[in-house]
Amino acid sequence: MRLIRQEEIYRGRVFTVRRDVVEVEGKARTWDVVAHPGAVVVLPVDGDDLLLVRQYRHPAGETLLELVAGTCEPGEDPAVTAQRELQEEAGFRAGRLTKLAEFYSAPGFCSEKLHLFVAEELTPGRLPMDEDEQIELVRMSLDEAVGMALAGQLRDAKTLAGVLLYARHRGR
């Protein structure tokens, strides 16, 4: 595979859209790509509780229950992003962050790589939220979260992945 040409079509606050022309097996193929700097997903664990956030997601047209998440600044260590997002969205700082996995959100058209962290040894520490965020913190047990995932009540892919990977990590 060889890149022939790349053209930026749109530049937004969080991502860009580009058109790539690539030679594949001697033929030119065109891909439209959503280029994203990457993001973190944080599963805060406070004693026996998981902390999730409930927020309205306009593209989905509904309020979703999700794990803490946010976009990395270009070149930023994902662990730094994870601490910042945890403080902004949940109001806590992690004494221990453990990276559980990395995965792509939608590799057919988007370059966004998600870095999943478990945040433990939480202490209060709030940073101001982004001005477009209205978030409610929700506590639940791991069993409740897994039950919601299996019942189709968690509808956000990064949250499904995070909860189920964490349950597997914990031997459930």
- The pLDDT tens digits of the residues spanning 13-40 come to 999 999 999 999 999 999 999 999 999 9
**CATH code 3.90.79.10 region(s) in the chain:** 39-169
pLDDT at residue 103 is higher than 70 = yes
In words, the CATH class of domain 39-169 is alpha beta
pLDDT at residue 107 is higher than 80 = yes
d(CA 22, CA 37): 21
d(CA 39, CA 114): 5
What is the model's pTM?
0.92
The proportion of the chain whose per-residue pLDDT surpasses 90, expressed as a percent, equals 89
* In the block, residue with structure tokens 């939220």: 129
Question: Which one is catalytic: 7, 25, 62, 131?
Answer: 131
Task: Output the average pLDDT for the chain.
Answer: 94
| Pair 37, 71: CB distance under 8 Å | yes
- 112 three-state secondary structure: coil
Tens digits of residue pLDDT in 59-77: 999 999 999 999 999 899 9
Nearest to 100 by CA among 150, 162, 10, 22: 162
66 part of the active site: no
Amino acid in the structure at residue 24: V
Amino acid in the structure at residue 1: M
Give the mean pLDDT of 107-114: 96
